[in-house]
Structure 1
Amino acid sequence: MRVQRGRAVLLLALERDLGHRLPLVQHEQEVLDVWALVDALLNYPGAAQSLVRILEVFYGNSLSVRAFGSLVRELVPEPWLDHDERRVLHELISALERSDPGLSHLSCFPMLYRRAVGPAWPLLDREVHSLHDVVALLEEIPENGDGVPPLLAFVSDVAEYAGPRSEPHFRDWVRRQVAAHGLDESLLPGRAPTARHEPEPAENYLVVECAPDALEPDHYLVTAWLQVGREPGATLTCADEALSINRIPDLLERLLTAESSVVGRRGPELTIEFVLPRPLLDSPLEQTKIKIGGFEHRIGIKYPVVVRSLDRMRLAAVHHGWRHKWAWLCGNAVDPPVCLVTRRGEYDHEELFSRLSAASPAVLALAYPPWGDGRAEEPDEHWVGLLAGTPVIAWCRDGRDPGQFAREVRDLLAADVMKLPRRAMELRRKALSNGRDGPGPDHLGLHLTLLFDDADRIPEPYVRLSPPA
């Protein structure tokens, strides 16, 4: 092991035995080179035991080999997987990587890792070059509360993304591990191993939070997540530098055009959610323009765009009512009752709060915008609706004739409210359509803000951890 050429031969044999390459950096100093190899042996389960077997083949039962074998048996835990099964898994992953030379599959594994380990475990805390690294990390994480090893949950999900040629092989591998370890196959995360149909892709959400900066009131700390279905979100950016609101378009353009996990998402559907403090809730963010291929367009005509309340997420005291009203709305989404307020001061605030605190109505429509920055700290009808737990609030930013707004919002809120973000997008598209008697600049689609606050998808920083976390 002292000579670099000898180490190269042993490393090649080790990688062949493991079924994958080891990400080793060559160093000019021999001691650093050996230390990099030792580090790899500790990071990849089964690698140290494999090296012992290889050394015994090369050098027999020499004193140094016996001493190294004793050290490994004493200090390195026995891996969870059988050597042959681990090698089969890594060979399947290598085949998947060869079939996807663009490495688009790498965009999904942070989300699959998060799904497998749950919110109590940290995000990937070491440099990850490939799915081999993720598998090595997951093999060392103990099973979760329902008895499912995170590695099996992860591989079961990878099978869904592997395509029709590789999926059966990943499924067979999972079934063998379930049988070998005496596990309950039904506990795996919602996947039927024998299913042959293509699963329906889940909805994708690009969540952008703008939190006020303590030092500069007109600047915001921006965090962005990509969330698939109701799984924990994968962080895309978490800026240390506070940004002004006019820099949000540049960030959005980068996320939508250059962020691999967004561009390479499995399903085509994408909803953009802005989590905003009260002073920003009335900002026309759906009118934000981005440029793709030299063409500039508003995001609100390509994606459903909604806003969510940062202040309510931070105010845990109102979460019970919010969740209760959202659950009621999910079960009564077709043509639900709507609380329509056409004039400021039409209701006393306490009277309005009393009406909205019941499970129904869970939808509030206002013909006028919230108060501006100068009175943002005072309660208005919008703030009362948020405190009452109302999950859906729609309003016109520039004010509206009461009768006209009542007619427009009645058409908008008809049918299934769960599809309201998409109908709002269609309304924004219609506002830009041309024609002899086509819509003009006063069309509601150019002035509508939709707060659509899913109480089942609160970002993790605002969710109370439950046992065992």
Structure 2
Amino acid sequence: MVNLLANAGLAADRPSRSLLVELIHDNLGFPLTLSEHATGRDQLIDLVNACARVDGGMHALDDAVRMLRPASRESELLHRLVHEPRMHDLLPDSALIRLRSVLVGLRPPGLGALVRRAASPATCPVGEPGDAWEAFCLLTEFNTPAHGLPPCLAFVELVAAKCARQPGDELREWNSCQARRLQGEERLRELRAERVDGGEGLRLHLVIMVEVDGIDPDRHVVSHWRQEDPQDWPPARGGIATILGDELEHHVDRLIVDAERAWSEYREEVALEFVLPRALVNLPVHRWCKEHETGDPRPLFLDYPIVIRSLERMFSRQWHRAWRIRWEAMTGNPSAERVYYCSSRDTAERHRLDAILSDGKWLVMVLAGPPPTRPRPGGDELATGLRSGIPVLLWHPDAPAEVLHEVVTWLLDGSGLVDLPTRTQDSRRAAFREVTIPVDLRIARDLVVLWDDPSRLLFLDDGPYLPDAMREDTDERGRAC
């Protein structure tokens, strides 16, 4: 600043320098305490230092120079210096040395997922860091969100939650000290409360989307999304593969086995979801098995709750408002009395079912039979349920209506709607055991559960992807599609 003022002639021009001091005093509203110096440059040094010591002093200097030397290069540069923020290191070297001794070589489960969660809502570079220290250094380059915690400190907290007691307590103590220094204690307390309150009952999800190939109807396009953190959504899209219809089950088997290997150090429960278009909603995914290569494949329902989701609804934004309203109503009042059982007369009259489901009372619908691959205009149960926002739809390929009614009523008894996927899984497993219950559990083995949570949408156009090396296009033709 002193150099700029000297270049503007204020070191050599005593009258102009005296006028500059008067303008500064006028801008501040009070005089500065200045000493007399032998040279003009020394006088400018004293003036700049005096301005820096008082509130508003630098702005007063800036305004005075712009008055004395309007539109000059020196006044513009001085204005930029005054208004540019002065950058400081986020953390002192002593704190970093202590943290580095803990994080170097530390690699908690799902390290990449922890980085992505800490960086949110910023777009985090894809790729796994070598260890927790490398990840921390990466996150120091990310801006702190408004009213938030620096991403690198959020990351330390997430890592501490994954560690054993000794390093975990040391990391939390370090984080508390830094948050106090950066005035982020409130947000740190909120983050810790989220980990405690939101850590129970969470599941990891493997979501597999199957579509009919646009060129060859005997082929299917398969995508998948695998969570590494139950509180991180959406996960990165894992890849796209074009698969022949009779190879679908084996391809899904490989995806599940790969997921289990990646989850080997996790303790959370896992749920399996299939996102299907209308043409494939009757795909018998609930009867599929895994680990075919062992020669003794194991049914999926023994290990996972299995549900399907509607591809059409996920990408029909005009249906989402009604969908969210019904889902929130279901989580707020999951009563078994809010289930509507369709009958053949509901579709005999055009839009009769639309009128019935317009009543917000209904949250679950049991179809009279399996939906056809093509909708019936004006009288289609599946299409009407999706458009009305019903989040849960059930059907069976061949069970009589009265028997299905009994099974669904039994499944919803006591716990209501919120545990339906788990209750259905339990009933499928119980069908193999000799248990005495008032319903035929064999019906549950083929019960289709469309369970749609609007808070877990997938994004195809702008969502995160894993690197190209991880994608699973099976041949040149698949890549061309």
Q: Same fold (TM over 0.5)?
A: yes
Alignment of 1:301-320 (within 5 A): 301-320=302-321
SS at match of 1:393: strand
Q: For 2:345 and 2:228, how far apart are their aligned partners in 1?
A: 36
Question: Matches of residues 336-415 of structure 1 in structure 2 within 5 Å?
Answer: 336-343=337-344, 346=347, 348-372=349-373, 375-376=374-375, 380-397=380-397, 399-415=398-414
How far off its partner does 1:354 sit? 2.1
Deviations 1:215-235 (A, max 9, x none): 334421412232644431322
Instruction: Give % identity.
Output: 25
230 and 130 in structure 1: CA distance in 2 versus 1, 3 angstrom threshold = closer
For 1:142-187, what per-residue CA distance to the aligned partner results, in whole angstroms no more than 9, with x for missing partners?
0123322111111111111112222111101111110121223335
Residues in 1 aligned to 2:442 and 2:194: alpha-carbon distance in whole angstroms:
50
2:191 is aligned with what amino acid?
A: G
Structure 2 distance, partners of 1:348, 1:91, is 73
- Shift in Å, 1:436: 12
Secondary structure at the counterpart of residue 190 of structure 1: helix
2:165, 2:335 → 1: CA distance? 37
Choose the corresponding residue for 1:113, options 112, 115, 119: 115
Q: How far is the alpha carbon of 1:435 from its aligned partner? A: 8.4
- 1:323-363 per-residue CA deviation (whole Å, 9 max, x = no partner) reads 00000000111324111014375553522122223322110
Q: What is the SS of the residue equivalent to 1:458?
A: coil
- Looking at structure 2, the residues matched to 219 and 319 of structure 1 have their Cα atoms a distance apart, in angstroms, of 27
1:232 aligns with 2:242: no
TM-score calculated relative to the size of structure 1: 0.71
The amino acid of 1:111's aligned partner reads A
Count of aligned residue pairs for this structure pair = 373
Taking a change above 3 Å as real, the CA distance of residues 228 and 423 of structure 1, as seen in their structure-2 partners, is: farther
Letter in 2 for 1:134: A
Is contact 2:221-2:242 (8 Å) kept? Answer: yes
Equivalent-residue separation in structure 2 for 1:288 and 1:276 (angstroms): 15
The answer as to whether partners of 1:219 and 1:245 remain within 8 angstroms in 2 is yes
Q: Which position in structure 2 is the counterpart of 1:443?
A: 442
Query: What is the aligned partner in structure 2 of residue 93 from structure 1?
Result: 103
Helix, strand or coil: the match of 2:227? Answer: strand
Residues 208-251 of structure 1: CA distance to partner in whole angstroms, max 9, x if unpaired?
12244433344214122326444313226212x32234434334
Cα deviation 1:223-282 (Å, max 9, x = unaligned): 22326444313226212x322344343343333333367423533411101111111111
| CA drift at 1:188 | 5.3
1:242 to 1:132, Cα distance in 2 relative to 1, 3 A: same
**Is 2:467 aligned against 1:457?**
no
Deviations 1:411-454 (A, max 9, x none): 123232110000110121133336899999x9212321000101
Cα deviation 1:56-96 (Å, max 9, x = unaligned): xxxxxxxxxxxxxxxxxxxxx86432222222222212364
1:244-323 aligned within 5 A: 244-259=244-259, 262-264=262-264, 266-291=266-291, 295-323=296-324
CA-CA distance at 1:113 after TM superposition: 2.1
SS of residue paired to 1:433: coil
For 1:230 and 1:348, locate their aligned partners in 2 and report how far apart those are by CA, in whole Å.
45
Contact 2:393 2:449 in 1 (8 A): yes
Deviation at residue 294 of structure 1 after TM alignment: 5.1
2:418 is aligned to 418
Distance (whole Å) between structure 2 residues aligned to residue 213 and residue 431 of structure 1: 36
Q: Which amino acid aligns with 1:83?
A: D
Residue of structure 2 in register with 1:427 after alignment? 427
C-alpha separation in 2, matches of 1:189 and 1:437: 46
Q: Residue 82 of structure 1 corresponds to which residue in structure 2?
A: 92
Structure 2 counterpart of 1:109, which letter? L
C-alpha contact 1:226 1:236 (8 A) present in aligned 2:
no
Q: Is the 8 A contact 2:327 2:453 kept in 1?
A: yes
Structure 1 runs of 4+ aligned residues shifted over 6 Å read: 435-440
Give the letter aligned to residue 417 of structure 1.
Answer: L
2:407 maps to amino acid? E
Q: Quick one: distance in 1 between partners of 2:190 and 2:210?
A: 33
| Unaligned stretches of 5+ residues in structure 2 | 1-86, 464-481
After TM superposition, the structure 1 stretch with the greater mean CA deviation from structure 2, 407-416 or 342-351, is 342-351
- Against the structure 1 CA distance between its residues 438 and 326, is the aligned structure 2 distance closer, same or farther, given a 3 Å change threshold? closer
Helix, strand or coil for the counterpart of 1:418? Answer: coil
The residue aligned with 1:54 is none
* Distance in 1 of aligned mates of 2:100 and 2:260: 24
* Alpha-carbon distance, 1:140 to partner: 0.3
Q: Show the 5 A alignment for 1:126-145.
A: 128-145=129-146
What letter corresponds to residue 289 of structure 2 in structure 1?
A: K
CA distance in 2, matches of 1:78, 1:421: 52
Q: Distance in 1 between matches of 2:211 and 2:135?
A: 32
3-state SS of 2:126 partner: coil
Give the stretch that moved more between structures: 331-340 or 256-265. 256-265
Which residue matches 1:169? 170
Structure 1 contact 343–402 (Cα < 8 Å) conserved: no
Task: Return the alpha-carbon distance in structure 2 between the equivalents of residues 359 and 426 of structure 1.
Answer: 30
CA distance in 1, matches of 2:342, 2:96: 63
The RMSD of aligned alpha carbons is 3.2
Deviations 1:84-130 (A, max 9, x none): 22222222123645xxxxxxx24x12222222222x43343356322
TM-score, normalised via structure 2 length = 0.69
SS at match of 1:272: strand
CA distance in 2, matches of 1:367, 1:227: 38
Shifted more, 185-194 versus 128-137: the winner is: 185-194
| Equivalent in the alignment of 1:147 | 148
Give the unaligned 5+ runs of structure 1: 1-76, 98-104, 465-469
CA contact (8 A) 2:392 2:449 kept: yes
